[in-house]
């Protein structure tokens, strides 16, 4: 590992490790001390929180400096008030060392340095204060230096979510091969080769008839049984060997079986495993997760019965994009806002919330300023009529637009404000909600106070009111995490079924399956939907937003008589429909930008559109926006104040 750190061809060193392998003391601290003494430069070490950084200084770094004379001469650790010896800053000739927490983006972004290190990346914030991934921000601090070094070491957590695992997969994936003292064959030490005896006379409450003291490591090549002493002796003869091509990243995997420490003897590891298995049989998987991560140095895979992407693809229906199949009666849309594009899902809803995907795509363009960039193309898509299979034209009744990104939220508010009367809503799934703190929050609930203020700096009565989505409950409904639950697992036709068209973009299936329900580092005691590393999930987010828009219309509460009325209107509209025309792609549906938006050739009379939902079930903001003015005697501008001017009226 130290050779890789000194190799100028290596820009990043990743260690996916278990506990008790001396990574912090043997690798990280030694490297920091070497650079301070021999090759000084600015350096930054990032921890999950500021408190962890201070703890590292007190328990590890300062003691190392105190007992190392060449370092004690350069860093005044004994001078508590020195400007070069603070809890988060250590100055020395030729450079400095900063300790920062991932919960402080300003600390991460403020200082360039050729050497940066991340301790326990899986515990670091992934999007603190909506300013992006802190690890990425830290790595950006090194790009102006030709001989930069990024040190990335920690224990992996959840399969598909772990950033340590993702970093290791991008590396040359070095493993430590150990020769057998009997046959000479080399191998990577793995838990599957640990064996122990069972004795009928033993009846331990936790271990049962297992005898941990009989544990040994068995060579998979010759069957030789290694004791702890033989195992440690063989490890000393081991060698690192890459198992993947090298592209500037050196990756190392090592687990606790390599450790010579007393607490890592084979008998102690077997006891730990037996306790984990006992807890797992009683419904507690926390000890097994810990064993997998901290002893084996591997990610823990959560069981998921989500269908495969190919399975979803095989269930696609044969209808055209931007057309509404039989059964679809009400259209809603969900819009996810990225900095360079808008992702859009349009869904048709029918009885029992059975639904059909009408459009999935992305509109490319800047989104920081309303009415510019991608926003006009979004209008062109959402304002058009969509042809029903019967020939009628349907318009979108409600739209939920993501406003959780602080850099684009103002643009979203301005965009939505002008379209409140058409059922547009600004929604939030901010970081604290994505982390699962919306436990129990309904998919649709009354909006928060207006984000706009009046002259008295109070919330404006008719301003934009962001809606908070119960994202966890929505994803439970769509995906499900227990066996048999989740709408995407339902087949055939009927209530709750979700359908999509055969020509949908291929990435739709991968994106809708891009999350797993697993423990989150900031939410203790329960599972949270978390995006898999390296996967995009805009399609899933848009599906959640389209569902939110449907629930704003309360379609889940509509009676059969209301659905009958809509069906009758659509059937009547068929009498006036023009000949079928080929639906056209909206601009931006193809990332190449080759597609152009064109309206449907024929227009359906407004009186024959599908009826609006009853006023009692409209969302609060929508009710205010579409309510009719009062009669002239008491409506707006119905009289003048004694002092001149009009008295206030209501819209």
- Tell me how far apart the alpha carbons of residues 174 and 30 are, in angstroms, rounded to a whole number: 21
Range from 45-49, 184-188, 304-308 that averages highest in pLDDT: 184-188
Structure confidence by residue, pLDDT tens digits, 210-219? 999 999 999 9
Structure confidence by residue, pLDDT tens digits, 584-643? 444 434 433 333 333 333 333 333 334 444 443 344 433 333 334 434 433 333 333 333
Looking at 112-199, which runs of residues are DSSP E strands? 115-119, 149-154, 174-179, 186-188, 194-198
- Of the three residues 228, 255, 282, the one that is the final residue of a domain is 255
The answer on 251 and 323 residing in a single domain is no
The answer on 390 and 247 residing in a single domain is no
The answer on 565 and 458 residing in a single domain is yes
The answer on 337 and 244 residing in a single domain is no
Domains identified in the chain, total number: 2
Phi/psi of residue 353, each to 5°? 60, 30
Residue 637 lies in a domain: no
CA dihedral 569, 334, 415, 471 (to 10 degrees): 130
The answer on 340 and 248 residing in a single domain is no
The answer on 376 and 241 residing in a single domain is no
Write out 308-341 in H/E/C secondary structure. CHHHHHHCCECCCCCEECCCCCEEEEEEEECCCE
The answer on 326 and 184 residing in a single domain is no
- Minimal CA–CA distance to 331: which of 397, 389, 378? 397
CA distances to 340, 367, 591, 602 from 380, rounded to whole Å, are: 18, 15, 17, 16
The per-residue pLDDT for 465 is 86
Per the CB < 8 A criterion, the answer to whether 46 and 124 are in contact is yes
Residue 454 lies in a domain: yes
Collapsing DSSP to helix, strand or coil, 627 comes out as: coil
The per-residue pLDDT for 482 is 72
Residue 422 lies in a domain: yes
- Average pLDDT on 62-89 reads 83
The per-residue pLDDT for 613 is 44
Parent domain of 108: 2-189+236-255
CA distances to 39, 158, 390, 405 from 253, rounded to whole Å, are: 27, 16, 60, 37
The per-residue pLDDT for 53 is 86
For the purposes of burial, counting CB atoms within 10 Å of the CB of 540, is it exposed (0-12), middle (13-18) or buried (19 or more)?
buried
Residue 632 lies in a domain: no
The per-residue pLDDT for 607 is 32
The answer on 170 and 34 residing in a single domain is yes
Residue 399 lies in a domain: yes
The answer on 534 and 415 residing in a single domain is yes
- Average pLDDT on 20-47 reads 93
Give this prediction's pTM: 0.69
Residue 272 lies in a domain: no
Range from 137-151, 283-297, 572-586, 601-615 that averages highest in pLDDT: 283-297
Pairing state between β 174-179 and 239-242: antiparallel
Structure confidence by residue, pLDDT tens digits, 237-274? 999 999 999 999 999 999 999 999 999 999 999 999 99
The answer on 245 and 346 residing in a single domain is no
Residue 644 lies in a domain: no
Q: 538-552 and 471-478 are packed helices; what angle lies between their axes, rounded to 10 degrees? A: 100
Instruction: Considering only residues 567 and 627, tell me which one the structure prediction assigns the higher pLDDT.
Output: 567
CATH of the domain at 31: 3.40.50.300
Share of the chain above pLDDT 70, in %: 79
- Tell me how far apart the alpha carbons of residues 508 and 365 are, in angstroms, rounded to a whole number: 20
Residue 312 lies in a domain: no
The answer on 349 and 249 residing in a single domain is no
The answer on 471 and 329 residing in a single domain is yes
- Tell me how far apart the alpha carbons of residues 159 and 90 are, in angstroms, rounded to a whole number: 36
């Amino acid at each position: 590992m130290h050779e890789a750190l000194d190799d100028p061809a290596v820009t990043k060193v990743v260690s996916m490790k278990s506990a008790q392998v001396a990574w912090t003391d043997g690798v990280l601290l030694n490297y920091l001390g070497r650079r301070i003494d021999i090759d000084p430069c600015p350096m930054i070490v990032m921890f999950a929180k500021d408190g962890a950084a201070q703890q590292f200084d007190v328990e590890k770094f300062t003691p190392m400096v105190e007992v190392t004379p060449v370092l004690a001469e350069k860093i005044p650790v004994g001078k508590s008030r020195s400007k070069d010896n603070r809890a988060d800053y250590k100055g020395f000739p030729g450079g400095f060392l900063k300790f920062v927490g991932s919960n402080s983006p300003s600390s991460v972004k403020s200082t360039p340095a050729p050497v940066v290190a991340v301790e326990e990346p899986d515990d670091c914030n992934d999007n603190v204060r909506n300013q992006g991934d802190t690890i990425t921000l830290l790595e950006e601090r090194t790009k102006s230096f030709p001989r930069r070094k990024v040190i990335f070491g920690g224990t992996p957590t959840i399969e598909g979510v772990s950033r340590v695992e993702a970093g290791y997969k991008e590396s040359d994936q070095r493993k430590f091969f150990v020769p057998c003292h009997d046959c000479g064959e080399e191998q990577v030490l793995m838990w599957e080769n640990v064996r122990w005896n069972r004795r009928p006379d033993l009846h331990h409450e936790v271990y049962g008839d297992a005898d941990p003291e009989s544990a040994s490591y068995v060579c998979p090549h010759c069957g030789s049984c290694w004791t702890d002493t033989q195992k440690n002796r063989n490890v000393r003869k081991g060698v690192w060997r890459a198992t993947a091509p090298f592209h500037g990243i050196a990756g190392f995997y090592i687990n606790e079986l390599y450790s010579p420490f007393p607490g890592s003897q084979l008998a102690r590891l077997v006891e730990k495993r037996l306790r984990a298995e006992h807890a797992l049989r009683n419904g507690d998987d926390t000890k097994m997760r810990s064993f997998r991560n901290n002893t084996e140095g591997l990610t823990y895979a959560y069981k998921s019965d989500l269908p495969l992407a190919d399975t979803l693809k095989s269930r696609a229906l044969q209808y055209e994009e931007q057309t509404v199949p039989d059964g679809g009666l009400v259209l809603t849309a969900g819009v996810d806002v990225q900095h360079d594009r808008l992702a859009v899902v349009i869904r048709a809803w029918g009885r029992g919330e059975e639904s059909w995907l009408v459009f999935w795509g992305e509109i490319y363009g800047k989104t920081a300023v309303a009415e510019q960039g991608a926003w006009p193309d979004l209008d062109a898509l959402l304002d058009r009529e969509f042809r029903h299979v019967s020939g009628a034209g349907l318009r979108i009744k409600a739209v939920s637009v993501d406003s959780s990104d602080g850099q684009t939220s103002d643009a979203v508010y301005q965009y939505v404000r002008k379209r409140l009367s058409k059922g547009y809503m600004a929604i939030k799934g901010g970081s604290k909600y994505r982390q699962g703190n919306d436990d129990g929050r309904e998919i649709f609930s009354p909006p928060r106070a207006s984000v706009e203020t009046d002259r008295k700096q109070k919330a404006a009565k008719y301003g934009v009111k962001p809606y908070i989505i119960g994202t966890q409950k929505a994803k439970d409904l769509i995906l499900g995490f227990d066996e048999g639950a989740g709408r995407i697992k339902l087949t055939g036709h009927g209530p709750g079924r979700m359908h999509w068209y055969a020509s949908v973009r291929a990435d739709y299936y991968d994106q809708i399956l891009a999350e797993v329900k697993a423990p989150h580092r900031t939410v203790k005691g329960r599972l949270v939907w978390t995006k898999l590393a390296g996967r995009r999930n805009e399609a899933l987010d848009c599906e959640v937003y389209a569902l939110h828009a449907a629930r704003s219309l309360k379609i889940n509460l509509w009676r059969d008589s209301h659905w009958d009325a809509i069906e009758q209107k659509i059937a009547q509209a068929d009498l006036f429909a023009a000949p079928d025309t080929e639906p056209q792609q909206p601009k931006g549906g193809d990332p190449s930008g080759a597609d152009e938006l064109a309206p449907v050739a024929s227009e359906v009379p407004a009186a024959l559109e599908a009826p609006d939902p009853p006023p009692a079930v409209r969302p609060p903001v929508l009710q205010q926006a579409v309510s009719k003015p009062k009669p002239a005697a008491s409506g707006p501008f119905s009289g003048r104040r004694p002092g001149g001017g009009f008295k206030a009226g209501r819209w």
